[in-house]
Amino acid sequence: LDHETILVERKGRTALLTLNRPKALNALNLQVMNEVVAATEALDRDPDCGCIVITGSERAFAAGADIKEMQPQGYMDMYLADWFTAWDRLGQLRTPTVAAVSGYALGGGCELAMLCDILLAADTAVFGQPEIKLGVIPGIGGSQRLTRAVGKAKAMELCLTGRTMDAAEAERAGLVSRVLPAGALIGEALAVAETVAGMSLPVAMMAKEAVSRAFETSLAEGVRFERRLFHAVFATADQKEGMSAFADKRPAVFRHR
């Protein structure tokens, strides 16, 4: 696959996708969106890929949607192109995804990070939804996912004032799972991805689906959904392998079946 705005590397059962528009701080124009979505959907169809890491540069994960591309657009342009809708497909991948965020994750950059399943931050990371300063609002789910991640108090303040959060505040607020020294970010993100990719792929997919369902439904419905999936994993060969390996005191070797 040929890409101009991203780099995709395979490392064993993991994939590393690097946003690569350094001169624009990885601003997310439509080409970036289309390339990220096409590349991740191809990886999602590959049974030999068990986890996808998405990262940017040291200075910027992504400084937002591309302001210069949006500036001349009118309502009918945005509506007819259904601007940004393709990003939703990133959130619908079955393969687990990890965002490794260093530097700016603003506007669409913060939204892209929140579309991923695990969010790791370098101590240099800066998160925010500063769209209001440009006379617009978040458009890739930021008003919804940030609110679910950190609660109304901080989400409302960030969306109404454009204030940004540093990595420590983002971790306290529950937006990121861990903060790492900048130099350790990619190594740790790849290690996390390798761990996830070493699990049974169908079972990891079901675990992801179960946690994701918590954001879509009531507690009782969510628990019922989990219970169905829990029963279903007993149809996998990997459940037999995982539990036999425990009994035999040896590491499990999953076959992703």
What is the secondary structure of 131-155 as a DSSP string? GGGGT----SSHHHHHHHHH-HHHH
Residue choice 105, 140, 175, 193 for contact with ligand HXC (CB under 6 A)? 140
111 is catalytic: yes
Catalytic residue among 50, 108, 109, 141: 108
- What does the per-residue mask of binding to ligand HXC show for 14-33, with x meaning CB under 6 A? ----------xx-x------
Site for ligand HXC in 70-129 (CB under 6 A): 70, 104, 106-108
* Residue in 36, 48, 11 with CA at minimum distance from that of residue 194: 11
Q: Which strands make up the sheet holding 6-11, listed edge to edge?
A: 6-11, 14-19, 51-55, 97-101, 118-122, 178-180
Least Cβ distance, residue 5 to ligand HXC (angstroms): 13
- Show the tokens assigned to 12: 């064993």
DSSP code for 234: G
Q: Is 138 in the site for ligand HXC (CB under 6 A)?
A: yes
DSSP code for 65: B
Q: Are strands 14-19 and 6-11 parallel, antiparallel or unpaired?
A: antiparallel
Least Cβ distance, residue 128 to ligand HXC (angstroms): 8
Q: Is 170 in the site for ligand HXC (CB under 6 A)?
A: no
Residues binding ligand HXC (CB under 6 A): 24-25, 27, 63-68, 70, 104, 106-108, 130-131, 134, 136, 138-140
